[in-house]
Structure 1
């Protein structure tokens, strides 16, 4: 029969069989509808001719069989159509209800919340961000210098554009002091310089200017290093400084003099005089470069290099060292019980050359009743150089005048009249231009007693005992001590005039009986006189405060720093110019020696960054703070006649803080009933009838409700008038991760406080648990049973821990022994904070096998770049298609969508872009790790992301990697077909 002959009612076509409802496992949604409106309508129309009244039996007639019309305007068909619509709606909601009954397919937060409660899991309420605050105390004259910051002091942030201010509160009370505002590392070391004789007893002497260092403090392969020298072999420029029995000596090519040395110019001579017992040694060096450093009140002078062995052209960086007699000895002084008076002698005896731990020093001050501030002042004053040098004849000297000797400007001998040069009565029979007499004789080679030499002109102010250096192009510079200098009339070399007669002293301080023998000629010799002793200022320590340092010596002595106090290291990094860094470390101990304090840092890793010593600031007025504002609230009145009373807090969300327990968080809620504290429990199940406990529930709007017992499971609330009072904090989540330097507004300004700031951004926050996270985390309660045994247990436990967004556990072989490395990232995408990592580490330790060693580390973030050309359908707007493609790429390869150690393939990128509406074809031109030098733009087929592994090159375990698309390195272009 042809279709054209069928009636319009389609009754002869028959009914299609209902498809069986089947759902494959693992689907994100269930198909539960038995039919839709068209299907319901068709089936009901097909049943109309077959309907009969049930009360009349099977042989009764079918009254609707005669209804053959199928026009939509018919009233009966309209009623059927309406009924089909009702059935469609009912089946739709039946399917939705079925989906909400399973954890994987539920879309409502309330559904997930109730399903999770069925297995004893509560959706994570989120955790508040944490940060460390640095307080600055007013140190102006007259200020108290001390400020007490109470616990729970509120600090408000300065929000960026479009954001709201956030309030943080300090966790503990802080006693801040002005001297702890910004401690500085030791910037200089004593200029303990000496002259070293390297001639080995040969003649003439060969001297070098060296810097004395503790033995072994400089690498053995350093140029110009002389190791293991006895102090008796050295001629020190300042014999008053203490020295070890055996030292190393490093040749130097520059010195630092006081600010008064700014008159020295390049090319002038400097004299260095060293002393060893009664012996003196002198070394003359020429200044090649003079630079005044006004800010540091010193002058840097570069010295000429000396021949064989070659002196370094520039001094090497001085690596820092532990002061001898302090930490390297391991033996510390102890507090004295007997009475010791506060005198300079007792201070020198008690503290000179001794190392004190902070605890012992505080005990000493308490026992003796000494003032810590006065002790620091006395020790600092004792370290200042004396007003007069210990040995005035030793040190570094410059010269105030340079003169020639009498006769250097004499006319040529041949130019004199014959009567003066020939004949018996000639004054100058010897040709001084031929004989070239020395400065120690007259023009004819005769003596010039009682003086040894004559300067060309009088020079007032030449003091006896001063140093002189005579220098000539053809002779080695020689050093002399002036015994006497007198103005005298002099006639020689065809000249006459006033000159300055010099008498030179010997080593015994008496004038020489005869003139020296050095061959200085009268015309080309220069006398450097009017010596001035230049103090050697302390040398700068060029080496940075290196990463991994566990001991940092300060520039001064600082008392009162307690063990366990957080310290903020803030300053420019030495490895990346122009980049500042900050970190928080805990203080393990403080050791005082030689008038300075050394900070001993807790942990075995030391500092994370390497800092330029000059710019580093160490803040000790540091206290931890967490996001959230305190609230005091009267909940209502208890009624002993009512079981299971409930009260809801008025200001959601209630702040939860990260904690080292199995749940990973603890509430800030504290409830008192009639002034007595009641305790919170996860559930009232198992609670005794007299236990003052309550349970909490958090609804979909983050409101917290308090549940009380019925007298069988937990005590009932006692009857009273407004006798329930709650204290809690409100505010948490990702909004609390404020930027560094934004927490600067204290709600109250205590006396003596100047300011506050946060050197590091706040971190460790997490918003209330999302549906996708809840689906994954809720079953973990049944998988781990609050114990960590298998490799997957480590990963599941860390992933469900509040504040953690990504986690992966890998088994790494370290020296043949298996180690579990858990790589984690914070919920907001960055590295977790130190406090969050410590809490997670402690929580895993409490739940795991103590024999299984594990490590916890922040995962490594890596990025890749992508460029593609899209052929776009002309019916679509090209810009909209390109924007849609970029959005899809960023979503698919963003933090939320990626897992640790998940690679990126070119095939997946192509498939994703091909699904964008309007895209006809895709050509992937660039797919590379961001910043990788691959020799050109190429599209790699696979970009690997590695799990945790052992790196033999560095000798350390490397965490797992998270490979993300760099938002600034994605480029989609339109290509013509």
Structure 2
């Protein structure tokens, strides 16, 4: 037997080996010793071959031990060697059970860590924040239960952890202006939500700006339906005002009535080159000369330049024109016989002519009706208005009739016309005179204008639907005037309706006297009576596409809420809990500061979620913390005895909830309330921290998952008073990873509540964890001795974070600090089951670290960055000896276990050799080929392939912000090492790890 029976641990073994040997080696040691002492004993005779290999040595020892010699002393020695082997293994086992790192029995391990005053971390209950939608205001007591029904297993119940004052006004709060698109209107196109096939070309619509309190009328030029986008695209005229914003605009469309207008008519106006007619132009042609007459007014002789339907344009502007009673006619041609000279002018040209040029012309026939009328010379080629001459005297001499006494003689059958006016050519051939019967064209009169628009009221034919508050639009060609109606009045006969404009003026885009082109095609008029139509009673009000969508980004910690009546400022107070949801990310926050007014400015404890906009951010104001577990009725825990020190009781119930408590070393405490003689006692982490009069108790989790409750001894904590069943307990039941639910899982109240309409779960439920496994206990127990539950160094902060019941792993980093600023530490954690770090768990962990850390340190807790890997394996199996399918299953299970998140560490590199070690450690695998690849980093997609390689072993880096994942490859381009950043963790995805396995026949 070897002399050294206390050899220390060999490299590569998970347990200490105090004895180096077994039954075969012990028997060989005895045989060598016996051979030297008893050289003639044949049973122990034998020579040790020189330069014997290890394999030959082992085979020789095996043959010697298995030899069944017919020798009593040899059999006694063989039994002694076997007994020594058995006794030695027992000594090894018991020796290992005395060490934290090697103990395998739970009770031994528990006792060892208890010597360090360490208690295994209990499980933790998940926690989340619920948004309650209230029916009516009132209190909602803590304990309101909401459940989730999974496909398998019992329902998962959460209960609210605090009282909540419900208010329906706080159900869903939106940023001020969330439903108003701030983009300006542009161009000539409107996009209307939905398909509106009743809109027609030529009809008006009204664009109302609700913010500015203004409106404008436009005409529809075209309508196009975009079925793919679900919008109607309308082209209008004139162009839109960029002062209006899309979200402030309402469109009034589809007028019910189209009415003829009767007045008020403008008597005189400054006209341009065109004249609107009440009827069609008929056979008028460009180049003709027309006369515009009106009783009591000088006629106008005009050359026509253009003829359009109901519109005549002239080569010269009309200028001031009196249109009431006017007629447009073709003039009568009066042939001129001769122009009289000066004697004739003296004899015949007397009349009421005060001065200026005077001409006497002889015309054939009786033209006495031209007395005091106006005539014009027939033009040869004149572009402007024709010069007019006033007939001051028309003297007709009948045939065969002697002149009366006093008359000036003239030619028989001719009329001597005395003309006064401008310059007349020497030999005129014809004169143009107004016809005896004016017509046939009647000019369309203009609607009366005042400063800033049309006169009020507008008179139309009888209206059946016009009402105060309606919009009305007057349309003449391409010109529009509009107003909201202040009043509508019918005449006594019921034939006409007076439409009174709001403010007393009908708006248009002219703003001054009518001039220039009077065709009615400009933006501002003029408005002709017969060519105008009044559209009233618009039947539909529409919004523009995306009018209620405000895509303006939101960031920072300030949010403005619309509060016109000031009720929100009364209801929201400092510290009020809110949940901010933008559809892709959710944040829980509290109100830190309020600035009253409308809008109400809120300063929050957290910044709004990333990618938030005015139109996607929702604030839930009836928010309350909820934890996994269902409350149970109070029951008796036991009877107190004042003579007993450290009285203890066991609550024989499993899966009792554990809730966050930064004062506990594990970060959680049992969700129990213990009362003694009706008085509530306080739960502490350790009784040694209590005074002799403190009413406190401790709770420990037993090996079988029940609770052990212990009380003081009169020195550290008060003793229990004597009584019968005077110690009572109330608890919640529900704990572990089953409570880690994704958002939207908790929506069904366990029982209806009269004040609750619905419940939403915008945030995931996180922080749920199972009790501390044995493997973690070996590390965490000694770590408490190093930290003493206080954090000074970065390693201390990491150890304290790992001591939290909801955390699997943690690393701590020093953050850059500016001069004069306090020290800053970032703790990166892997929550239990690799779940996402929820805001609730992050807040709990921050408070836990601050409670045990050095005061004044700026702490930031962040979640780890997951890096999911994939493995491509080729197995070579001796198919004559092994069935490949069980081998593949065994390799798959071994890899999934070895490279699971539970067994990987933050910043731990992955070597390809580790994969070989696991794969080829499975029975049946003769050899293998293994390749490692990255599947995804964080929440992103797959990483790009790294094709470049070099002889020195290329390195590919994937930059993910502060952490950089590097791939070190061989000269052949195969990944040799994956080196993560310190905030990253490499692992195989749980459930369905990305492992590809192929098999080949092994050939030696």
TM over 0.5: yes
Match of 1:636 in 2: 638
1:831 is matched with which residue: 811, 832, 836? 836
The Cα shift of 1:30 comes to 0.7
1:106 paired to 2:103: yes
1:28-70: CA deviation from partner (whole Å, max 9, x where unpaired): 3111245433445566778899999xxxxxxxxx9x999x998
Find the aligned partners of 1:879 and 1:19 in 2 and give their Cα distance. Answer: 44
Match of 2:312 in 1: 437
Q: Structure 1 stretch 147-156 or stretch 784-793: which is displaced more?
A: 147-156
Find the aligned partners of 2:575 and 2:765 in 1 and give their Cα distance. Answer: 21
In structure 2, do the counterparts of structure 1 residues 948 and 431 end up closer, same or farther at CA, with 3 Å as the change threshold?
closer
In structure 2, do the counterparts of structure 1 residues 270 and 965 end up closer, same or farther at CA, with 3 Å as the change threshold?
same
In structure 2, do the counterparts of structure 1 residues 864 and 253 end up closer, same or farther at CA, with 3 Å as the change threshold?
farther
Q: Structure 1 stretch 660-669 or stretch 80-89: which is displaced more?
A: 80-89
The alignment partner of 1:779 has SS state of helix
Match of 1:572 in 2: 583
1:924 paired to 2:925: no
1:701-725: CA deviation from partner (whole Å, max 9, x where unpaired): 2232233455566555443322322
In structure 2, do the counterparts of structure 1 residues 522 and 19 end up closer, same or farther at CA, with 3 Å as the change threshold?
closer
Find the aligned partners of 1:661 and 1:520 in 2 and give their Cα distance. Answer: 88
Give TM-score, length-normalised by structure 2.
0.62
1:150 paired to 2:141: yes
1:32 paired to 2:18: yes
Find the aligned partners of 2:477 and 2:988 in 1 and give their Cα distance. Answer: 71
Q: In 2, are the aligned partners of 1:147 and 1:751 still within 8 Å (CA)?
A: no
Following superposition of structure 1 onto structure 2, how do residues 140-539 of structure 1 map, counting pairs within 5 Å?
145-161=136-152, 163-186=153-176, 264-266=199-201, 268-270=203-205, 284=218, 286=220, 288-289=222-223, 302-304=234-236, 401=258, 411-412=282-283, 437=312, 444=329, 448=442, 451-452=445-446, 461=463, 467-471=473-477, 477=479, 516-520=514-518, 527=531, 529-532=533-536, 539=547
Find the aligned partners of 2:928 and 2:221 in 1 and give their Cα distance. Answer: 73
Find the aligned partners of 1:118 and 1:253 in 2 and give their Cα distance. Answer: 84
Gaps of 5+ in 2: 46-63, 262-275, 287-300, 331-438, 449-459, 492-496, 965-980
The alignment partner of 2:124 has SS state of coil
The Cα shift of 1:628 comes to 2.6
The Cα shift of 1:114 comes to 1.8
In structure 2, do the counterparts of structure 1 residues 599 and 762 end up closer, same or farther at CA, with 3 Å as the change threshold?
farther
Q: In 2, are the aligned partners of 1:70 and 1:77 still within 8 Å (CA)?
A: no
1:742-783: CA deviation from partner (whole Å, max 9, x where unpaired): 334544433333443433331112211112222221122222
Find the aligned partners of 1:721 and 1:509 in 2 and give their Cα distance. Answer: 92
2:550 is matched with which residue: 539, 542, 552? 542
Q: In 2, are the aligned partners of 1:437 and 1:444 still within 8 Å (CA)?
A: no
The alignment partner of 1:809 has SS state of strand
In structure 2, do the counterparts of structure 1 residues 694 and 148 end up closer, same or farther at CA, with 3 Å as the change threshold?
closer
Find the aligned partners of 1:479 and 1:744 in 2 and give their Cα distance. Answer: 55
1:630-667: CA deviation from partner (whole Å, max 9, x where unpaired): 34232222334544443211113443222223612223
Q: How many residues align?
A: 768
The alignment partner of 1:775 has SS state of helix
The alignment partner of 1:120 has SS state of coil
Following superposition of structure 1 onto structure 2, how do residues 808-827 of structure 1 map, counting pairs within 5 Å?
808-813=811-816, 819-827=824-832
Match of 1:934 in 2: 944
In structure 2, do the counterparts of structure 1 residues 708 and 853 end up closer, same or farther at CA, with 3 Å as the change threshold?
closer
1:585 is matched with which residue: 573, 589, 609? 589
Find the aligned partners of 1:159 and 1:784 in 2 and give their Cα distance. Answer: 41
Q: In 2, are the aligned partners of 1:904 and 1:943 still within 8 Å (CA)?
A: no
Match of 1:863 in 2: 868
Q: In 1, are the aligned partners of 2:673 and 2:680 still within 8 Å (CA)?
A: yes
Q: In 1, are the aligned partners of 2:4 and 2:19 still within 8 Å (CA)?
A: no
1:493-534: CA deviation from partner (whole Å, max 9, x where unpaired): xxxxxxx9x9x9x99899x9x995453559999956213476
1:650 is matched with which residue: 636, 649, 652? 652
1:646-699: CA deviation from partner (whole Å, max 9, x where unpaired): 321111344322222361222333333333444445555586666655444433
In structure 2, do the counterparts of structure 1 residues 725 and 522 end up closer, same or farther at CA, with 3 Å as the change threshold?
closer
1:830-859: CA deviation from partner (whole Å, max 9, x where unpaired): 232323322322333344444544432222
Give TM-score, length-normalised by structure 1.
0.64
In structure 2, do the counterparts of structure 1 residues 432 and 175 end up closer, same or farther at CA, with 3 Å as the change threshold?
same
The Cα shift of 1:948 comes to 8.8
The Cα shift of 1:551 comes to 0.5
1:737 paired to 2:747: no
The Cα shift of 1:94 comes to 2.0
The Cα shift of 1:252 comes to 6.9
The Cα shift of 1:901 comes to 2.4
Find the aligned partners of 2:874 and 2:28 in 1 and give their Cα distance. Answer: 49
The Cα shift of 1:922 comes to 1.0
Q: In 1, are the aligned partners of 2:209 and 2:244 still within 8 Å (CA)?
A: no
Find the aligned partners of 1:33 and 1:453 in 2 and give their Cα distance. Answer: 120
In structure 2, do the counterparts of structure 1 residues 44 and 685 end up closer, same or farther at CA, with 3 Å as the change threshold?
farther
The alignment partner of 1:572 has SS state of coil
Match of 1:792 in 2: 795
Q: In 1, are the aligned partners of 2:328 and 2:443 still within 8 Å (CA)?
A: no
2:988 is matched with which residue: 965, 970, 977? 965
The Cα shift of 1:146 comes to 3.4
The Cα shift of 1:168 comes to 2.4
Match of 1:230 in 2: none
Match of 1:560 in 2: 571
Find the aligned partners of 2:796 and 2:91 in 1 and give their Cα distance. Answer: 37
Find the aligned partners of 1:190 and 1:19 in 2 and give their Cα distance. Answer: 85
In structure 2, do the counterparts of structure 1 residues 124 and 38 end up closer, same or farther at CA, with 3 Å as the change threshold?
same
The Cα shift of 1:546 comes to 3.3
In structure 2, do the counterparts of structure 1 residues 677 and 90 end up closer, same or farther at CA, with 3 Å as the change threshold?
farther
Q: In 1, are the aligned partners of 2:279 and 2:442 still within 8 Å (CA)?
A: no
1:546-602: CA deviation from partner (whole Å, max 9, x where unpaired): 3546304258764523432322344534xxxxxxx54433234556645x6x46252
The Cα shift of 1:908 comes to 4.2
Find the aligned partners of 1:449 and 1:770 in 2 and give their Cα distance. Answer: 102
1:854-874: CA deviation from partner (whole Å, max 9, x where unpaired): 432222223344434444443
Q: In 2, are the aligned partners of 1:946 and 1:961 still within 8 Å (CA)?
A: no
In structure 2, do the counterparts of structure 1 residues 971 and 407 end up closer, same or farther at CA, with 3 Å as the change threshold?
farther
1:174-196: CA deviation from partner (whole Å, max 9, x where unpaired): 232334333445566789xxxxx
Find the aligned partners of 1:925 and 1:947 in 2 and give their Cα distance. Answer: 20
Gaps of 5+ in 1: 1-14, 53-61, 140-144, 192-210, 212-221, 225-249, 319-384, 386-393, 416-427, 488-499, 574-580, 952-957
The alignment partner of 2:477 has SS state of strand
Q: In 2, are the aligned partners of 1:452 and 1:515 still within 8 Å (CA)?
A: no
Superposition RMSD in Å:
6.0
Q: In 1, are the aligned partners of 2:807 and 2:831 still within 8 Å (CA)?
A: yes
1:606 paired to 2:600: no
Match of 1:22 in 2: 8
* Structure label with greater radius of gyration: 2
1:660 is matched with which residue: 652, 659, 662? 662
Q: Structure 1 stretch 459-468 or stretch 79-88: which is displaced more?
A: 459-468
In structure 2, do the counterparts of structure 1 residues 941 and 926 end up closer, same or farther at CA, with 3 Å as the change threshold?
farther
Match of 2:86 in 1: 89
Q: In 2, are the aligned partners of 1:945 and 1:962 still within 8 Å (CA)?
A: no
Find the aligned partners of 1:872 and 1:509 in 2 and give their Cα distance. Answer: 95
The Cα shift of 1:919 comes to 5.1
The Cα shift of 1:133 comes to 2.5
Q: In 2, are the aligned partners of 1:566 and 1:587 still within 8 Å (CA)?
A: yes
Find the aligned partners of 1:395 and 1:676 in 2 and give their Cα distance. Answer: 70
Find the aligned partners of 1:665 and 1:544 in 2 and give their Cα distance. Answer: 42
